[in-house]
Amino acid sequence: MSDLPEHAASAPSLTQDEARARAELLEVGSYEVHLDLARDEQHFDSRTVVRLTSRGGRTFLDCKPRELRSVTLDGAALDVGLLERGRLPLDLPAGEHELVVEALMAFRHDGEGLHRSTDPADGRDYVYGMSFMDAAPSVFACFDQPDLKAPYTLHVRAPESWTVVGNGAATQVAPGEWELATTPPLSTYFVTLVAGPYHVLREEHDGIPLGFSARASLAGQLERDLPELLALTRSCFDEMHRLFGIRYPFGDYHQAFVPEFNAGAMENPGCVTFRDDLVPAGRLTRGDAILRATTIAHEMAHQWFGNIVTPRWWDDLWLNESFAEYLGNRVAAEVTDYDDAWVHTAYSRRQWGLVADARPTTHPVAGNGAPDALSALQSFDGISYTKGSTVLKQLATRLGDEVFFGGVVDHLERHRFGNATMHDLLASWERAGAVDLGDFVDGWLLRAGPDVLSHERGTGSLVLTPPAGQESSARRHTFHAATHDGERWSLTPVETEGVGRTPLAVSERPVVLDARHETWVVAVPDAVTVAGLVHHLADVEDPELRAAAWNNLRSGVHEAAVDPATVVEVAVASPPVEDVSDTGRHTLPWLLGHVVPFAPEGSLARLHAAFTTELEDAQAGSERQLAALRAAIRSATDESVLRGWLAPGGLPDGVEPDLALRWRLLERLAALGAVEAGELDQVLAAEPTTAASVAHARASASRPDPAAKEQAWRRFTGEVAASNYELEASGVGLWRGDPEVSRPYVERYLAELPATSSVRSGWVLGVATEAFFPLAQLPHLPDDGAALVQGVEDLLATDEALTPPMRKRVLDLHDECVRRRRLAARYPRG
């Protein structure tokens, strides 16, 4: 069963050449969009009026309907049968024109287009729009490219119990009838609509009307978190206004927490959409709060970088994401209660970017060679976000705020409500006083791949190795190294340039490279350092240094330069439970999924014992206690221990039982084969929330039962419907439990993956490709994974088998298989 609208599955993605030609031909004056969301639960009516000016010539309109009912050009009917693969050809004489398109559109369930979902908690339906990357034409007819901006006016009919918000301020003019204010010029991918029985709260700050909304079943959480959300929003607005000196220009600022959202958030002007797990039902840890704060600041930064001025084409994606990532973290750290935001980022984003940059699919930060929109979607990765943010932070330090923001403001004012390129921004920086930016552009923006930095004990020097195929790094690295003298850690400034050796005599002391995350480099610790961390990581009081030590270890394992057995020793001596969210989301999954399978037998039990000791020693009610408990659950192999915690009153004093913790226990029991499907069903029926439905899907697929694995697989092939979140959870669960039970799906993945592009597209297609990939099977295969690697290579060699989102994920996962096999060969488990 396909979730794709008609004309969408085979629609070609717009190429840069096509976009350039269409932009030279057209100027779009305005869009007027009428949407009837009250028609039925599967479809909505869409009527679009486009006013434009043509220089005369042939082009096409983008539209992906269930049924194209009529198209008129200046009052004359056009042949709707000419619509092919989402494109309607047009022959436009020179002059002004009016296009009117009436279509029947389909609600989607994959987080794109106009997404509709049912809240299992109360059975109510909710809708939101995600027009990003080829999805806008499944909502309204348009010229779908970032540099054909125009004002939008929306008219919406919805069920009378629904509330409607969008890019422009919404006014209810009659029961079920809503008019939205005309917006400033927007790119098509920013157009959104949030409609349903949402719980809406309204406030104001500095003349800006503020709104917050979430599903009715999350009303309590939204009310609980409103003071925090308001404080963050107000502080961030004040700081953005101070930094830019340009007022927020999009009227209302609504922040909607919506269900089943693919990304973390989307910066739609006037109506930002967020994943609604940012208003969690359970305990909000500091790590959760930092993630929410940086996300709010990130999306607000986009209102200037991305929304006021938008990249002309996707090869300048960094002009959106790198800036928003840098400013989001900086603003959150400087003007909110979360001055440790950069530490959180070090755990949560650093390895994401470094690993992506070391993959065969790496690309430059800027000028990333996006030939079409679908290819560009693959560049929304750790390079565009984390690497770009890091090098911008370096540049801001180098230039100083006066020059850095002086250039930014010049750029925003010159191209206000328009589009621009990297060269436009560089020219603005030069006007502001920046000189000699060539090394920054060539070394950091246009050169792909990370340098690798290691310490050579024999020569007492640092060795800098450029990316494969490059003779020189062409980058200057300025950072601090941390060494331990037997009593304390201390920092030493270091500067390297080019390839070669830089003196750094540390005797036999452990050394943590790039200890403040000041440069962009794969820092690999040597054996002396790793052994020293076993004894001295616990001495680290600086959280940034501790994060750097873990990042050094993670890079070392990724480069097959650090023995997993020694990493286990470090983790046993200094369990990574310093932050409940960063541990649970990043360090712990890496330890259990990447290190333990290649470490000696018994490593999991040793880690579990260490986490249990931390749990017993932690202060009741502390985040460290909760982190230790979560880690102990993930590493437990004794059913009786898990059942003890699951029983009423069985949790340690200070830990509040909640639904999320109950499902963590059930998921682990499921992977151990210690829970039946009926028990999982009963728990879900008792509290049928969205989060519980996702956890149920993951737990069900984790059970080492052939029927459970087959059910998960049928979700992958599209035979069984699943939300985007449930689909990913099923893929994760498929490979948990006894590897013998899921082994048949290794070959099935290679054989059946290509066909899944007929049942899903875009973001969720890439997510499913990765979630169901049999990476977790690698350590358990009888031939050390050689057949899997060969099968992946054969699949990649079939030119037409994989779409771009699938090909990139499979290429990256092939690289990960090769790296893990190299790690296993170099450090046998013994």
Per-residue pLDDT tens over the stretch 73-121? 999 999 999 999 999 999 999 999 999 999 999 999 999 999 999 999 9
Residue 54: pLDDT band with limits 50, 70, 90? very high
Instruction: Kindly tell me if the per-residue pLDDT of 571 is higher than 90.
Output: yes
Specify the CATH number for 1-197; select among 2.60.40.1730, 3.30.420.40, 1.20.1050.90, 2.10.109.10: 2.60.40.1730
Which neighbouring-strand residues pair with 146? Answer: none
Give the predicted TM-score (pTM) of the model: 0.96
User: pLDDT (tens digit, 9 = 90+) per residue, 154-209?
Assistant: 999 999 999 999 999 999 999 999 999 999 999 999 999 999 999 999 999 999 99
pLDDT in the model for residue 133: 86
Amino acid of residue 659: L
Q: Which residues are catalytic?
A: 299
Residue 498: pLDDT band with limits 50, 70, 90? confident
Using left for φ > 0, alpha for ψ between -120 and 50, and beta otherwise, residue 26 falls in beta
Give the CA dihedral 383, 389, 394, 398, nearest 10 degrees: 130
* Two tokens, residue 569: 């020793």
Lookup result for tokens 């990304």: 263
pLDDT in the model for residue 3: 56
pLDDT in the model for residue 5: 56
What burial class does residue 808 get, using C-beta atoms within 10 Å of its C-beta: 0-12 exposed, 13-18 middle, 19+ buried?
buried
CA dist 296 → 61, 289, 399 (Å): 34, 11, 27
pLDDT in the model for residue 9: 54
Instruction: Kindly tell me if the per-residue pLDDT of 1 is higher than 50.
Output: no
Using left for φ > 0, alpha for ψ between -120 and 50, and beta otherwise, residue 499 falls in beta
Instruction: Kindly tell me if the per-residue pLDDT of 231 is higher than 90.
Output: yes
What is the b/e burial string over 100-127, where b = at least 16 CB atoms within 10 angstroms of the residue's CB?
Answer: bbbbbbbbbbbbbbbbbbebbbeebbbb
* Two tokens, residue 385: 């976000």
Name the DSSP class of 784: T
pLDDT in the model for residue 397: 95
Instruction: Kindly tell me if the per-residue pLDDT of 7 is higher than 70.
Output: no
Mean pLDDT, residues 703-730 taken together: 97
Rounded CA separation 244/327 (Å): 11
Instruction: Kindly tell me if the per-residue pLDDT of 370 is higher than 90.
Output: no
Rounded CA separation 374/25 (Å): 23
Mean pLDDT, residues 18-43 taken together: 97
Going by C-alpha positions, the residue among 573, 647, 570 that lies closest to residue 613 is 573
User: pLDDT (tens digit, 9 = 90+) per residue, 381-391?
Assistant: 999 999 999 99
Rounded CA separation 704/140 (Å): 45
Rounded CA separation 206/227 (Å): 16
Instruction: Kindly tell me if the per-residue pLDDT of 582 is higher than 80.
Output: no
Lowest mean pLDDT among 358-362, 372-376, 419-423, 710-714: 372-376
* Two tokens, residue 713: 């697989």
The residues, any chain, with a CB within 8 Å of residue 788's CB and separated by 6 or more, are 746, 774, 777, 778, 781, 817
Rounded CA separation 29/97 (Å): 10
| β-bridge pairing 500-503 and 476-484 | unpaired
Instruction: Kindly tell me if the per-residue pLDDT of 41 is higher than 90.
Output: yes
Q: Report domain extents, the chain.
A: 1-197, 451-560, 563-657
User: pLDDT (tens digit, 9 = 90+) per residue, 757-806?
Assistant: 999 988 899 999 999 999 999 999 988 899 999 999 999 998 788 988 89
Lookup result for tokens 């434009």: 52
Mean pLDDT, residues 456-473 taken together: 86
User: pLDDT (tens digit, 9 = 90+) per residue, 258-310?
Assistant: 999 999 999 999 999 999 999 998 888 999 999 999 999 999 999 999 999 99
Instruction: Kindly tell me if the per-residue pLDDT of 525 is higher than 50.
Output: yes
pLDDT in the model for residue 10: 65
Rounded CA separation 194/114 (Å): 9
